[in-house]
Structure 1
Amino acid sequence: MNILVTGATGFVGRGVVAELTKRGHTVLAASREGQDVGAARGLKMDVGDLGSVQRGIGSVPDLGAVVHLVGIITEKGVQTFARVHVEATRNVLSSTPRRARYLHMSALGADPASQSGYSRSKGEAESLVRASGLDFTIFRPSLIFGPGDDFFGRVLKQLVSLPPVVPQIGDGKFPFRPVSLSDVATAFAQALDVPSSVGQTYALTGPQEYTFRELLDLELKALGKRKPILPVPIALMNVAVPLMNLLPNPPITRDQYVMLKAGNTAPPEPARTVFGLPMLHLEDLLPQIVGKKG
């Protein structure tokens, strides 16, 4: 099958492209730079530009599926949640042939009524997908882990490495159920072979739930560090986070703070059964992710 993948050069994009090409599909790796991704030929396309999207998608003969992965975690300049998550999705949807399958990367917690700009824009994009008339499948992953990830490999690593004590927000009981990149890539690829997944929305979560405190402990252990963990009261964080956001590169944005307090978890079923996911464990890959093994 000829498949176009947006956001193909990103962390998730590379994993999905690799899984699709491994299964014998012909993949076009769409990105603003247009670079090749593994065995997939690069295709220069700016999802924020409707004309660019129309030309890119229109250039693929016998297009069988579009996998839309483009997304941002923080806003910067013109790259806002509304532009990247909502407008770009509208551009891709309107340019996708009716005959093609459409697979959409959303996020756990997506909700048009969310207080988080990220989650709100993801929810608005989902509404566009459902109204598109395409044969769609929506995936809502939790935190995605794997070599090269941003959260465990950079954000959490810096949080437990840089300060003399590790700050813990509140009581640290916010729940998370991280999912491996391998599970996410498998779900996207398998959906093309599972007709019953058309019109469905699936949470993508891992086999085990952790509190934020447990994630801090796991990160410290993987790095071979021993440090005290200092709880920071929510009332203090409510004052500190807005002040941090006056900095050019705040350690945590207001939006990330809202999402963190909400947690990020859901049961792994039915995605585990429907797509036969391997359900890899965070502990098995964390040393490699933080650079202590492999």
Structure 2
Amino acid sequence: MRILVTGASGFVGSAVVRALLERGHEVWAGSRGGRPVAGAHAVGLDVTDPGSVQRAVGQADPEAVVHLVGIIVEKGTQTFERVHVDGTRNVLAAVPRTARYVHMSALGADPQSASGYSASKGRAEALVQGSGLTFTIFRPSLIFGPGDDFFGRVLRELVSTAPIVPQIGDGSFPFRPVSVQDVATAFAGAVETGTGRGETYALTGPDEFTFRQLLELELRALGKTKPIVPVPLALMNLAVPLMQVLPNPPITKDQYAMLKAGNTAPNEPARTVFGLPMRRLADDLPGLLAQHRS
């Protein structure tokens, strides 16, 4: 099957491309720079440029499109609205009407969310649902794996930088991280079999953690022992807006809103429908952090 993948050079995109190639598909790897991907056809694709999207789709002539492009932090013209909403609109307009379409959203996607990220993901989902295409939507939780940003950088820096580890509030916010291998397996299965047409699936792992437990897990994986000190939400509510004047704030207002909301859901029915291996964060984290250090 000929498959066009947007965001193919990213953390999740690279894993999805590998999974599709391993299954024998012809993959067109779309990225803004047209970066080469071993075994795939590289194609320049900027989702914020309708002409770029049309040209990439014309080159690939895909039987299926996997749309993965997303950002966590807004920078300059790369806003949530422009990338997630307008970008999705541009891709949907270019997808052949007979093609399968598989969309990466996010757990917590909701047009009414206090998080700009989650609200934009919710608006993008609405575009997909009204597109008339044969679609499947996936909503991953925090994703871990080789090259991930949250566990490999953000959480590592949080527990490593100071003599103490700051904890937001009481640390009870729940999360259910999922491995990038599980995510890639789900996307490949939806493309390959057409399973889950018109459905939206949460993608979560086998284990649920509170934010405090994630901090403790990260410390153990790094071989560190430090006190974890709660920071009252009232203080965080004052401090986070002030941090935004920094060139690279340790946490954005949007990330803060998402952390307070938590990020969890049952791993069924996706686990059974797509035969997901359900890798465990506790098993993989020491190796992942060692890779980041090297």
TM-score range, shorter chain: over 0.9
Structure 1 residue 251 corresponds to structure 2 residue 250: yes
* Alignment correspondent of 2:215: 216
Paired residue type of 1:149: D
State the alpha-carbon separation in 2 of the partners of residues 76 and 88 from structure 1.
15
Superposed displacement of residue 194, structure 1: 3.5
Paired residue type of 2:36: D
Paired residue type of 1:148: G
- Alignment deviations for residues 60-80 of structure 1 (CA, whole Å, 9 cap, x no partner): 23x210000000001000000
Secondary structure class of the residue paired with 2:181: helix
Matches within 5 A, 1:79-118: 79-118=78-117
Secondary structure class of the residue paired with 1:291: helix
Q: After superposing the two structures, state which structure 1 stretch, 51-60 or 203-212, moved more.
A: 51-60
Q: After superposing the two structures, state which structure 1 stretch, 199-208 or 185-194, moved more.
A: 185-194
Structure 1 residue 158 corresponds to structure 2 residue 157: yes
State the alpha-carbon separation in 1 of the partners of residues 194 and 65 from structure 2.
16
RMSD: 1.1
- Alignment deviations for residues 181-212 of structure 1 (CA, whole Å, 9 cap, x no partner): 00000000011244341100000000000000
Moved beyond 3 Å, runs of 4+:
193-196
Superposed displacement of residue 136, structure 1: 0.4
State the alpha-carbon separation in 1 of the partners of residues 136 and 286 from structure 2.
33
Q: After superposing the two structures, state which structure 1 stretch, 85-94 or 281-290, moved more.
A: 281-290
* Alignment correspondent of 2:239: 240
Secondary structure class of the residue paired with 2:60: coil
Secondary structure class of the residue paired with 2:3: strand
* Alignment correspondent of 2:120: 121
- Alignment deviations for residues 29-51 of structure 1 (CA, whole Å, 9 cap, x no partner): 00011012221121011111001
State the alpha-carbon separation in 2 of the partners of residues 115 and 233 from structure 1.
20
* Alignment correspondent of 1:231: 230
Secondary structure class of the residue paired with 1:5: strand
Paired residue type of 1:119: S
State the alpha-carbon separation in 2 of the partners of residues 250 and 183 from structure 1.
31
Matches within 5 A, 1:131-142: 131-142=130-141
Aligned residues: 293
Secondary structure class of the residue paired with 1:201: strand
Q: Is the 8 A contact 1:35 1:41 kept in 2?
A: no
Paired residue type of 2:208: E
Paired residue type of 2:38: G
- Alignment deviations for residues 105-141 of structure 1 (CA, whole Å, 9 cap, x no partner): 0000000111110000000000000000000000000
Superposed displacement of residue 180, structure 1: 0.2
* Alignment correspondent of 1:51: 51
* Alignment correspondent of 1:177: 176
State the alpha-carbon separation in 1 of the partners of residues 148 and 287 from structure 2.
11
Secondary structure class of the residue paired with 2:259: helix
Secondary structure class of the residue paired with 1:192: helix
Q: Is the 8 A contact 2:158 2:165 kept in 1?
A: yes
Q: Structure 1: which 5+ residue stretches go unaligned? A: none
Cα distance change on mapping 1:155 and 1:34 into 2, 3 Å: same
Paired residue type of 1:140: R
State the alpha-carbon separation in 2 of the partners of residues 284 and 245 from structure 1.
35
* Alignment correspondent of 1:192: 191
Paired residue type of 2:252: T
- Alignment deviations for residues 87-117 of structure 1 (CA, whole Å, 9 cap, x no partner): 0000000000001000000000000111110
Q: Structure 2: which 5+ residue stretches go unaligned? A: none
State the alpha-carbon separation in 2 of the partners of residues 175 and 37 from structure 1.
36
State the alpha-carbon separation in 2 of the partners of residues 57 and 192 from structure 1.
17
Q: Is the 8 A contact 1:105 1:138 kept in 2?
A: yes
* Alignment correspondent of 1:38: 38
* Alignment correspondent of 1:202: 201
State the alpha-carbon separation in 2 of the partners of residues 145 and 78 from structure 1.
28
Structure 1 residue 17 corresponds to structure 2 residue 17: yes
Superposed displacement of residue 156, structure 1: 0.1
